[in-house]
Amino acid sequence: AEDHLFRIAQEALSNTLRHSKAERMDIRLLRSDGGVQMSISDSGIGFDLEAKKQTSYGLLTMEERVNELGGSLKMTSRTGEGTHILIWVPA
């Protein structure tokens, strides 16, 4: 689980640096509700989530990693409003 969460954070950081034009990015990791919650947010330009899911191997890999751990992933992004990813996996 640690490796999967590390790789997810690594992919999110890479995407933020390459695409978002963000001035700020926050990654938080908390133990909660019998599991681990990771929150990743940036202040970037955001994107159309539905269009990007069709073409982004990195986002797909993040979802697959979370599913493999039996967790959940919620991603929100709007053009001009940044991106937020909330992940929960059982401990």
Among the residue ranges 5-19, 49-63, 73-87, the one predicted with the least confidence is 49-63
Structural Rg of the chain based on CA atoms:
13
CATH code at position 23? 3.30.565.10
Reading the block at residue 65, the tokens are 């990693």
Q: Tell me the residue type at 23.
A: E
pTM, rounded to two decimals:
0.89
Structural contact between residues 43 and 54, judged by C-beta atoms closer than 8 angstroms: no
Of 26, 70, 23, 77, whose CA–CA distance to 47 is shortest? 77
Structural contact between residues 69 and 89, judged by C-beta atoms closer than 8 angstroms: yes
User: What is the number of domains present in the chain?
Assistant: 1
Structural contact between residues 36 and 91, judged by C-beta atoms closer than 8 angstroms: yes
Domain carrying residue 40: 2-90
Residues 6-51 pLDDT 10s? 999 999 999 999 999 999 999 999 998 799 999 999 999 998 887 7
